[in-house]
Structure formats: C-alpha cells, structure tokens
Structure 1
C-alpha cells in the first residue's frame, strides 16, 4: 500500500509499504478514505525527530471503511463506515471507566512514562503506524472506532477523530461563564473550532489571537473579535482593553510548543536536533517556546481559567508560578479523551444545519500522493492552508 512516511526534518514521502494485517482478536483493518494533517504532525515535521525513525507512518485523523475485524470485535463489521479516534483506548480499564481514554492503562507507553498510545506519533506514544495511508490496522477496535452513517461526505465526520473532540474538551476545560469572554490563542484548525464551539455553547465574546491574515479573516467571518499580534507590542494590554481592563474570563491556548515569535526557543530546538539522536531525545523534551503560555497567563483575569490544548513537551520549562498563584488562576490541560465526548458532539455533526461548519472546514483536499506538498504549505502557512485533508486512492 501507499503511506506517508517520515524520513527526517521537513522530509515526508509517500512510500510503498507492507499492507497491515490482523494481529490481535481486537484488531480491525480499515480502508482509509480521508485523513487529516494535524498541527501536531508539524511537531514531527519540525521538532520531534529525535523520537522518530525513517519509515514511520504518520497521521492520526483517519476515517474509512472496515475491511476486516478480529474475533472479539462485535460493534462494527466489514462494510461499515467508521472514524478512528487518535488515541488508542480499551474502554474497560480504570482510566477509560473514568472518561480518561487518553490515559488508557492498557495502551500506556510505560517505557517513556506516557499515556495512551497514539496513531502515527513517535516512540513516546507507541510508534503505532498511522492513518495517512491506504489501509490502517486499528488496535482495540472492539471499542475505539466510531460508526457513522453512510451518505454525507467524509468531511462531515472526519473531524470526530481529533479536531472536534479536542476543541470541545478545550472549551469544556476553559469553564467559560454564560455570556462570558474567552480568548483563543492560535487560529489554526483547533483554535478555529474552539471559537465556533465556544460561541455555540453561549460565550458572549470570543477573541481570536493570531498573526496569519487568512486565519484572522476566517475567524472574523464567524463573528470572532480578532487581534493581530503584529499590531500589538503587549497582547495582554490589548486583551484588557477589550475586557473592561480586567482580562478574559477564560483563555484557550491552541498553539503549544511551536509558537511563532519565540526565536530563542526555536534556536534552542534547532540546535538540540543537531545532536546525536539519543542525546537529542532527552533534551528536546525539555524545551518549549512558552511565549503564548506567558501571554495566556497575562491575558486571563484574576480568578479565571486557562485551558491548554496546544501540545507542550517540555520537562524543565520555567513557569511564572508567582503570577499564577497571585492571580488565582485555574489551569487545565491534556490530550483529548475522544471517546468521552462523542455523545456530546455527534448530534452537532449529524445535524443537517451543520452548526459547527464542518463541511467546508478544510481549506485543501489533496490526494495522498501530494502529501509532501501538503505538509510544506501547511507548515509554512502558504496558499491559505489552514486545514488539509488527504484522500488515498486514484488521483
């Protein structure tokens, strides 16, 4: 089969690899029909190479048609249309029973002290072959895959794999008061969806912060008050001017470790990745660009809440603990527990009026063979690329 594989920094290729097969009775094989490129994939493209090996198959936002199932898989069958959550969870362990599927004890990567395994995402998360491929082996398929109806286009459902549950959890964790104010840092796919969900759930004012004109324009079309970081020396002051001088009730950081405008952090990351892999792996996990997190702390009002959905990898990052303590800030974060939120978001996805605007959410839909170009324009924010879907198959 054809699959998108990692070969080094900014080097992804479409290779011919061995077809997946059933290994465990809880496995399924899915023929992928659509698969997204996530902002988190760009961390692999740029920063986290020390945890990758050439030939690793990328991608964790797939959907498709079930081809085969193992003997213990009962809730789906060949021919069913399914979305595959990005975290691999069993549905029956201590953590899954508590709605923490991203911490599943059955698939935890204990070697690296991490939570549940993820598709297509480094040794730290299990090195499980990903979904940017023609076919995908799905472990724990007795629980993970989400059956969706035939008929509507893939784009109606594919974001159930990551984007919609991640944004929903980010908004849930933000504890936005009814008619309150929320700031969303980063208007990539997750930030855009956070803004839409916050509006849907009753936020009074949604403020979006970014520096990419296309992203700011897209958010503004959906009623978001936008702040262009290039126009302000102090983002916290800009937010306070929009919030009666006190700051936002809630702040969502949808950027994470690769914040633009943090050149010192970028230089440090680049230098680390020049080191031998074993040394780089230890040091990369200690370095983030924290400018957005600092801005979030500055922008939230006293007694407010910060929700982190952007991925951070640092182990030794300095946090301004005095400011967090003094402002009495509540802080929540973590990988999305995809399966936990499906009952909440599925009615919005299947609603004919499409209240979250998932159809047309992708700015680019390209054949799988054009994955290298897709990664390049997404990483460099060219050609208006905000969300990219890949489609395996002819073309």
Structure 2
C-alpha cells in the first residue's frame, strides 16, 4: 500500500513534510475513546488531494500561539479525488472530485440537523466542532498531504458536477473548503446587503474573501484596513477602498474621508486574537479590532467575526490574554445595540451556492486572494513567506494536478 506525506508542526516557526501511513477507513483514537464510537468507518472515503491550502489559522499554530503539540499535522482546506469509498457510502464514487468543508460533521446530531455544522456534537470529545489537522479539534489527520480520510462522506463532501470543468476552475473551487464561505459568512452575518457600506479589518486571505463577498452581496463601498502595503494593494486590485493603519491616523477620520461620514453599515473582524494597535510600531493589542469595529459601526449594526479567537494562547501579552480574556469594550457594543456573530463558519450553509457562482463565472475568488500554486515540498518555505506578510493565498498541489 502507498504511504502518505503530511505537513507537520515541529515547533514555533517550523514545519516539515513527513511520511505517514496511508490513511484507513477508521476514526481517530480521540473520537473512538472520547465519544465511544466504532473505529471502523464504512461511511468514509479516502481522497487523493487535488489541492490543499495554507490558512491563516494554521499560521497561528505554527507561530506557537496555540496549545498545538509538536507533531500536530496541519491542513483543513481540502479538495480531492475519491480513490476509495467505504461500503456505506452511497452517493459519491471513485473518480469524483469534491470539496471538503473544514468543519467535520456527522450529519446526524442536533447541531447538524439545525445546519450548525461547525459545532457538530459527534466528532470531538473536547468540545463541539472539529476540523482536520487542528489543535483540540478531535485528533483528525491534516489535509496538507497526499491523501486524507474524510468521514461521513455523503454528508460532508460537495461533489463537483463535471470533472474537467472542476479542474479548469480548481483555483477558485479550492477556496470553497474554507476561506470563501468563511469570508462570505463574515460579510453576510455583518448584515451586508444591497447598498451597504462595509469595513473589513484585515487584508489577509479571509479579509480579502470577506471584502469580495461584500461586493457580491451588493455593497456600495467596501473599505479594507491593514498595515501591510502589499496586502492593501491586493484589496485595491478588485475595487476596494483601503485605510493604512500603520499611518497612525485616526480610523474614524479615515472612514469619514472616504464615505463622507464616520461610520459604516456593517463591519467584519478578519484579524482575530493576534491583532496589533495602530501605528507603524504598534505592539500586539488583541482587543483592538473588536473595539475598532464597534466604534465605526453605526447603531444597530451587526458585526461579523470570522477572525480566530482562542481559549489558550501561550504567547499572549498577559495572563488574561493567555486564557482568551481580552479588553473588549462590551459596554460600547451594548450601548449601540450591536449584534455579534462569532465561531467557525458552517461551510455547508454556503458552499453549494458559492460553487454555482464560480461555475457560472460570477465569482473569481482566486484572483481576489491572489492564489499561488506550490508543491508539497514548498510548504515550509511558503509558511515562512506567509508569516512575513506575503499577499498570497498558497495553494498546495501535491500531485501536479493543477493546470
């Protein structure tokens, strides 16, 4: 039987590509022992990876800013070809190319039946919700690999209707596993509608996806804030206004200069817990973005928060931040009657519709996030480039299938 090569966290700032056993149609130890489920998984498939992407959430682990242990496998943005299917898999077959939501979901529990697939109750004994290759998410092997096992395949997989069309549009379709639905979720839950004015904090891949999604939803103006000139340039490339937070200028004033008023209808936090204050030499201040978006969002607005916040951060700036407690001005949000939407995006709520937008040439998300193809062996160097602020979304092509 063939082996498998997987990207692995080796300690702060370091990843490597290591050899593992070829995956089996079996559930991981954490799930079997913690939830009392059967090990055999006839409901699962083995995928040959077509594409798998590096995510900013992975970068938090690689920086040493989570409790991820050395040896943690990485990768939750998965698109692959079915090469083996269990006996209970009915609706996908060998040769099908499918997108895999980063949320692992059973399709059977109360949360799944309510469409809340990001907090499935049957895939992680530590807490509700699971993901491939992520700390405290159930022990599932990561998908920055050559092959990966996907459980509950009939429920989780989004099969592309035509193989050749899928390969032709693969750089767009690979974004369906996470950042396109996540960015869309951030914009949608922030209340972006036709004619809205929108502020997106963060011009990384998720922030760019949120800004692009806001345009799809009909926003009249989308403003993206960041400190990285290259990433701000990428946001401008598809029609966003930008504010340079390294300038030290007041965010409210910069918003007013663009819109003629100092507030927006909707705001998105696509930064998360490693946020910094304003100014070129600003230090980490994890509540900055949440306080910013409450400040500039009009009364009654919704705030979409796809940016990651954690319960354990060994590198936090103080003992409170190390436990996920940060100085959010909740009274400000309360006074303005803001609504907050946080947590994992339930990818299945959006991925089929966004796939249709891609296949009908109505969405070019790969161009918006500057999708850049690399080999599996280039993953370690690409993690380093991403950490330095490269305005790229790295797409790993393990088998040379990307045209």
TM over 0.5: yes
Aligned length: 366
- Kindly indicate whether residue 154 of structure 2 is the aligned counterpart of residue 142 of structure 1: yes
Map of 1:236 onto structure 2: 252
In the alignment, structure 2 segments of 5+ residues that lack a partner are: 27-40, 312-323
| The one of 8, 13, 31 aligned to 1:10 | 13
In 1: Cα distance, 2:260 partner to 2:270 partner: 24
2:143 equivalent among 119, 123, 131? 131
The correspondence for 2:47, drawn from 22, 25, 30, is 30
Match of 1:201 among 209, 217, 242: 217
Asked whether 1:55 is paired with 2:71, we answer yes
Deviation at 1:261, TM superposition (A): 3.9
Q: Which 5+ residue runs of structure 1 have no aligned equivalent? A: 267-287
Q: Deviations over 1:52-92 (max 9, x none)?
A: 23322100001111111111111111111111110101223
Residue 120 of structure 1 is matched in structure 2 by: 133
Q: Is the 2:225–2:243 Cα contact (8 Å) retained in structure 1?
A: yes
Does 355-364 or 79-88 show the bigger shift?
355-364
Evaluate the alpha carbon distance shift between residue 180 and residue 331 of structure 1 in structure 2; reply closer, same or farther with a 3 A threshold: same
Residue 350 of structure 1 is aligned with which of 350, 359, 381?
A: 359
Q: Deviations over 1:289-311 (max 9, x none)?
A: 12111111111112222110100
Mean Cα deviation higher: 357-366 or 214-223: 357-366
2: CA distance, partners of 1:128 / 1:63:
16
Among 275, 278, 290, the residue aligned to 1:293: 290
Aligned partner of residue 12 in structure 1, secondary structure: strand
**Preserved CA contact (<8 Å) 2:172 2:364:** no
Instruction: Give the deviation of 1:93 after TM superposition.
Output: 1.8
Post-superposition offset of 1:193: 1.4
Distance in 2, Cα, partners of 1:137 & 1:164: 23
Flag the 1:86–1:176 CA change in 2: closer, same or farther, 3 A.
Answer: same
Distance 2:367 2:282 in 1: 39
Q: Following TM superposition, by how much is the alpha carbon of 1:394 offset from its aligned partner in structure 2, in angstroms?
A: 6.0
For residue 30 of structure 1, report the CA deviation from its aligned partner.
Answer: 0.4
Q: 1:226 to 1:220 in 2, by over 3 A?
A: same
Comparing 354-363 and 94-103, the one that deviates more: 354-363
Match of 2:327 in 1: 318
Contact 2:175/2:365, CA 8 A, preserved across alignment: no
Deviation at 1:5, TM superposition (A): 0.7
Does structure 2 retain, via aligned residues, the 8 Å contact 1:232–1:238? Answer: no
Contact 1:7 1:55 in 2 (8 A): yes
Which aligned pairs between 1:54-203 and structure 2 lie closer than 5 A? 54-107=70-123, 109-111=124-126, 114-122=127-135, 124-148=136-160, 149-151=162-164, 152-203=168-219
Q: Determine if the alignment matches structure 1 residue 368 to structure 2 residue 385.
A: no
Alignment partner of 1:387 is 2:393 = yes
